[in-house]
Amino acid sequence: MQSKEYLRFKELVEEHLLYFLPEVDHKSITLYESMTYSLQAGGKLLRPVLLLAACDFCGGEEKLALPYACAIEYIHTYSLIHDDLPAMDDDDLRRGIPTNHKVFGEAIAILAGDGLLTSAFEAMNKDMLLYFDNTEKLKRRVRAVYEISKGAGCRGMIAGQVADMETENKQCSKELLDYIHVNKTAALIKAAVRAGAHLAGADKKTLGELDEYAENLGLAFQIADDILDIDGDVEKLGKNTGVDLIKKKSTYPCLYGLEESKLRVRELTDNAKRVMEPYYDNAEFFVELAEELANRVK
């Protein structure tokens, strides 16, 4: 993602990414090292950037949204660490470097994931304590955290991961594949955008539009990832390709073919753009981002 705005948000997140982690005792240094190893592995920071952008778009102060932006990256990172474990996807490579358990061992990787997930909520709740004399802002934060907890939870990301896991080596219906994509990937992306909007006190209409944008973007993003798993360059991706095929995972290209999948990415991207285009210049970031993500598999 190369847009100036994206890079600005990304830099802001990078600068603060470790800041909202709890201060750990030197006796827990391995835990901290393991958590920060994965956090600093150079991801796209898509979710935190979207959170900040949504907050900014709705007129909020992006800097005040940073604890929530970083928290959602903690959550995303924990999910990758656990997903890579031998008992799950058993991946050795992530973001171009060895996966967490390859470096720190499985036990620490499990605990680092747990630590990041808990730290996300600790950071957000700690931030709430600062708004006791501004009830309106406090309520916005409560709403934001609720969105994030839902998106990350058993009606969101985790539901998608369980369904994904359960369909390995099995025939998967188109309906179930949609369910997996909506939950595994789109739910947390939606939560990021919705949380950012809530922090800025967005009205229902704007919230609904951002939600629709994020759902389409999230689905396009996952299908593109599935395409890249077949078609992509290991070095550019920073992770192994062909993994889905080996594990007999049901993916969009697998059920619909490569061309049909690319068309679907295009369609979802156009849907996403269409929601935001009426905002013209104000929504430039969102329109460009959708286009850039789609262009990965043009």
Residue closer to a copy of itself by CB (options 56, 164) is: 164
Q: Is 103 in the site for a copy of itself (CB under 8 A)?
A: no
Q: Which of 122, 270, 284, 291 binds a copy of itself (CB under 8 A)?
A: 122
Q: Is 194 in the site for a copy of itself (CB under 8 A)?
A: no
Q: How far is the CB of 137 from a copy of itself (least distance, A)?
A: 12
- Give which of 2, 184, 155 is closest to 80, Cα–Cα: 184
Residue closer to a copy of itself by CB (options 139, 274) is: 139
- Give which of 193, 223, 195, 222 is closest to 209, Cα–Cα: 193
Q: Which stretch binds a copy of itself (CB under 8 A): 16-24, 44-52, 55-63, 200-208?
A: 16-24
Q: Which stretch binds a copy of itself (CB under 8 A): 157-165, 220-228, 252-260, 267-275?
A: 157-165
Distance CA 34, CA 74 (A): 12
Residue closer to a copy of itself by CB (options 34, 269) is: 34
SS3 93: strand
Cβ proximity of 96 and 42 under 8 Å: yes
Triad 294, 255, 290: Cα angle to 5°: 15
Q: Which of 48, 67, 115, 218 binds a copy of itself (CB under 8 A)?
A: 115
> Where does residue 260 rank: exposed (0-12), middle (13-18), buried (19+ CB within 10 A)?
exposed
Q: How far is the CB of 114 from a copy of itself (least distance, A)?
A: 6
Residue closer to a copy of itself by CB (options 146, 279) is: 146
Q: Is 128 in the site for a copy of itself (CB under 8 A)?
A: yes
Q: For CA atoms 68, 90, 258, 96, give the dihedral sign.
A: positive
SS3 96: coil
Identify the residue whose tokens are 């009606």: 155
Q: Which stretch binds a copy of itself (CB under 8 A): 103-111, 218-226, 236-244, 277-285?
A: 103-111
Q: Is 250 in the site for a copy of itself (CB under 8 A)?
A: no
- Give which of 128, 146, 124 is closest to 136, Cα–Cα: 128
Cα 124 → chain centroid: 17
> Where does residue 295 rank: exposed (0-12), middle (13-18), buried (19+ CB within 10 A)?
exposed
**Residues interacting with a copy of itself, by CB under 8 A?**
21-25, 27-28, 30-32, 35, 78-79, 82, 85, 87-88, 105-108, 110-111, 113-115, 117-119, 121-122, 125-126, 128-129, 132, 135, 138-139, 142-143, 145-146, 149-150, 152-155, 158-159, 161-163, 165-166, 176, 179
